[in-house]
Amino acid sequence: MSGRASIANTSAVSNPLSTLLPDMRRRGVRGGIIQKHRAFINFKISPAIFLFNILVLPLLWVGVLLLLLNPLFAAWNVFFEFMRGTLDLPGAVAVKTYEMLEAVSFNIPYLTVGAEWPDGRMWWTSAFVTAALLIVSFFLPNRFLPLAYFLRAMVGIQATSLVYFGFASGPFPYHLPEYMAGLLAAGCALLVMTPMLFGLTFYIFNIPWRKKLLLTGLVLAHLALLLPMQALLHAYIIHHASLMMMPVLFFVFGLLLDILVLMAFYSWGMSWPPAGDVDHDSPRRGPHP
Amino acid sequence: MIVQIMTVSLYCIVTVLVVYTVRHYAFTMNRLFGRNHQPYVDIGAANWPTVTVFVPAHNEEQVIGDMLENLLAVDYPAEKLTIVPINDRSDDATGAIIDSYAARCPGRIVPYHREKGPGGKAAALREVCRKFSSDIFLVFDADYLPGRGLIKQLVAPFFDPEVGAVMGRVVPHNLNGILLTRLLDLERAGGYQVDQQARMNLGLIPQYGGTVGGVRKSALKSVGGWRRYCLAEDTDITMRMVLHGWKVVYQNRSECYEEVPQNWKSRIRQIQRWARGHNQSMFRYTLPLLSKLGKLPTLMVLDGLLLLGVFMVPPLILTGWLLAMALFYSGVPVSHAVVVILGVTTWSTAGNFAAFFEVATAARLDGSYQRVLLLPFLSFGFLVSLMAVSWATLVQILTAPCAESPCWHKTERHRNGNGNGAHGNGSGHGKSGYAREMPR
């Protein structure tokens, strides 16, 4: 044992208070921990753990996802094939290849179902429903004002569609198959982005590891199921109700809906209490010395 | 050609929005992991300066009593504290309530009744401040409930001779079963617990918020006093303080309780007022602030510009969406359209994510985890704010950007009454169990 260590050991033995003082400073007169006021709380994390949370773990997730994407698309392919028959949709299941950095390619399935320019009946039906929704929005109670605004925003978007299809002549710049593929591609981008988003905004908190991994897995699984169903539903509606429905479905019920779902999961995860007693660097509750 | 212009414009808007997203994120990370800068909070015993607390009130019979009760109970040396409720042409019982307190506590409460002159809080403060000679002026709105130690906490920073203004934290107390109040509570938490504190930590510009705060009298005089016709005298004074070299300080520990709007109409009126006032300051101080590049820290100037532009973000978002829709219909090649629209939606999503991250972090720092579950509903709140602020900004730009409105703009009160605004059916004394019951 070195001389210095020997002296320190001797000090500790002769004055046990010196080892107890740091803990005692944080305790009140009855021995309980004095928690910091919420204004002073902040977190301490080592650079290594911080980097692991914010970069390494998300990248691991992304790597796994990239490996699983093509098998996932194969499952979507089977799903679309099954549902095309069930819903009696024309066309077939095709595949659009997207390349990433010219190294990796992804084959996103989509339906080659077409959609028509709206005829007069469809246009007037849509106009009637749009007007009805607008009127309803003005009769909602005041406490439903956000819902009223949402309805009016939807009505506004549909109104642009009505104007376009009322005055323009065909063909519409976008075809339903490409729209479906584009929607799925955007959804896949969100899928791959999700672990990075969580790395930046969720993994840094002192939440049990199993819960962090569970939430990420749940979100990814949910999106993996939601995206093809969403795209199929869009295709079904547009095929039957005409291209006039494409704008409102894309802007309101496309990526925005996916993000709201992500937000709901995120808020659930952020509501979980921390591992241990506290989230931060305040002294932990524990047995009295 | 038009399509190219629209595309470039959209990318410019997305760039601006990305800057604000990064700012939100940087503030949150700083608040979480940075060193909290609260240098004045340990001052407990001192030779306290003279303080006048102004409480501007226009038809505040429902709440003024609680306010005065709480102020009378503070632990600031009584001989150095003067409480001045300003009754600005109220036509309810506000004046009578104030006079009754003045009669009860002569010398401590000095009422000021305004019968003439321009209306509005800023005009009232401008007129009244000239008549008092304390070292420090603190301002509280009439519906606030200051704690016992709050005055000392707010005055402590002024021992630093460079400090010109101070701001405390505003915490809603009327969290009843109404979704709106809970959403506003989340927003306030994000704005104060994270945003303001991060700006304080980073040496940027914490904003004086017009209530739960105050100014040094000499600093106020040096910047020309309160601007008479001003919808947002708080932003206005903040900028003038900074431009004249004074520090504006935020004290996260100094919490005070307020009443937030309980219905959406009140909320819309409130946020439109803030937007118009803030935009007035933006039009007025953008160039003067830019001219301080090189004289003030660069980051402070840049963040000050972002702060001034914060109420232009909703109209920018709306413009972005409209451009995206126009591009969608214009037949831009699908891949390009998807990229462009993805940019907007990604911002709206990841961008909102940064704002939600800030709010969720604030809730965790506050130790109240369950209220984070309301986060998705903030989207609806943001939608209402987006439309309300965009409309107010559009009307303001089309009419007169700097036109000022010499009248009172106040939020509806619900305490002690049935929320009938200026003429509530309260007890007439505006006193309730809220007085002195709120946690310190």
pLDDT at B2 over 60: yes
Measured in angstroms, the CA of B394 and the nearest CA of chain A are apart by 17
How much is the pLDDT for A22? 76
Q: What is the pLDDT of residues B32-69, one digit of tens each?
A: 999 999 888 888 888 999 999 999 999 999 999 999 99
Averaged confidence pLDDT in chain B: 86
Q: What is the pLDDT of residues B299-316, one digit of tens each?
A: 999 999 999 999 999 999
- The more confident residue out of B333 and B364 is B364
How much is the pLDDT for A79? 96
How much is the pLDDT for B111? 95
Is the CB of B283 inside 8 Å of chain A's CB atoms?
no
Put simply, the answer to whether B342 touches A255 (Cβ < 8 Å) is: yes
Put simply, the answer to whether B264 touches A37 (Cβ < 8 Å) is: no
Put simply, the answer to whether B380 touches A146 (Cβ < 8 Å) is: yes
Those of residues 29-58 in A touching chain B at CB distance below 8 A are: 37-45, 50
Identify the bridge partners of residue A175 per DSSP, sorted by sequence position: none
Nearest CA-CA partner of B435 in B53, B63, B60:
B63
**How many C-alpha atoms does B101 have within 13 Å on its Cβ side?**
29
Report phi then psi at B244, rounded to 5: -95, 10
pLDDT at A120 over 80: yes
Q: What is the pLDDT of residues A228-250, one digit of tens each?
A: 999 999 999 999 999 999 999 99
Measured in angstroms, the CA of B13 and the nearest CA of chain A are apart by 18
Per-residue confidence band for A155, with pLDDT thresholds at 50, 70 and 90: very high
- Please give the Cα distance from B359 to A270 (Å, whole number): 11
- Residues of chain A with pLDDT > 70, as a percent, come to 90
How much is the pLDDT for B407? 55
Contacts of B357 (CB under 8 A, 6+ apart): A200, A201, B24, B25, B28
* Mean pLDDT of the B364-373 span: 92
Q: E-assigned strands of B89-159?
A: 112-114, 136-139, 145-146
- The more confident residue out of B115 and B136 is B136
Contacts of A83 (CB under 8 A, 6+ apart): A89, A232
Continuous H helices in chain A: 3-14, 17-24, 47-51, 57-86, 120-139, 145-167, 176-201, 209-241, 246-253, 255-270
- The more confident residue out of B389 and A23 is B389
Is the CB of A210 inside 8 Å of chain B's CB atoms?
no
How much is the pLDDT for B344? 57
Alpha-carbon torsion, ordered A12, A18, A20, A25, to 10 deg: -170
Quick check: A197 and A271 in contact, CB under 8 A? no
How much is the pLDDT for B433? 40
Put simply, the answer to whether B356 touches A266 (Cβ < 8 Å) is: yes
Task: Give the lowest-confidence range in A27-41, A271-285, B32-46, B111-125.
Answer: A271-285
CB atoms within 10 A of CB B157: 27
Q: How many CB pairs below 8 A link A and B?
A: 152
Contacts of A189 (CB under 8 A, 6+ apart): B342
- Please give the Cα distance from B259 to B174 (Å, whole number): 6
Per-residue confidence band for B274, with pLDDT thresholds at 50, 70 and 90: very high
Is the CB of B42 inside 8 Å of chain A's CB atoms?
no
Q: What is the ipTM of this complex?
A: 0.86
* Mean pLDDT of the B114-123 span: 83
Per-residue confidence band for B403, with pLDDT thresholds at 50, 70 and 90: low
Alpha-carbon torsion, ordered B34, B37, B43, B46, to 10 deg: 160
CB atoms within 10 A of CB B133: 10
How much is the pLDDT for A217? 96
Q: What is the pLDDT of residues B230-240, one digit of tens each?
A: 778 899 999 99
Q: What does chain A come to in residues?
A: 289
Quick check: B360 and A270 in contact, CB under 8 A? yes
Per-residue confidence band for B327, with pLDDT thresholds at 50, 70 and 90: confident
**How many C-alpha atoms does B192 have within 13 Å on its Cβ side?**
27
How much is the pLDDT for B414? 67
CB atoms within 10 A of CB A35: 18
Per-residue confidence band for B411, with pLDDT thresholds at 50, 70 and 90: low
Q: What is the pLDDT of residues A181-230, one digit of tens each?
A: 989 998 998 999 999 999 999 999 989 989 999 999 999 999 999 999 99
Per-residue confidence band for B149, with pLDDT thresholds at 50, 70 and 90: very high
Per-residue confidence band for B435, with pLDDT thresholds at 50, 70 and 90: very low
pLDDT at A61 over 60: yes
Per-residue confidence band for A3, with pLDDT thresholds at 50, 70 and 90: very low
- Please give the Cα distance from B344 to B320 (Å, whole number): 7
How much is the pLDDT for B336? 52
pLDDT at A67 over 80: yes
Contacts of B28 (CB under 8 A, 6+ apart): B194, B198, B354, B357, B358, B361
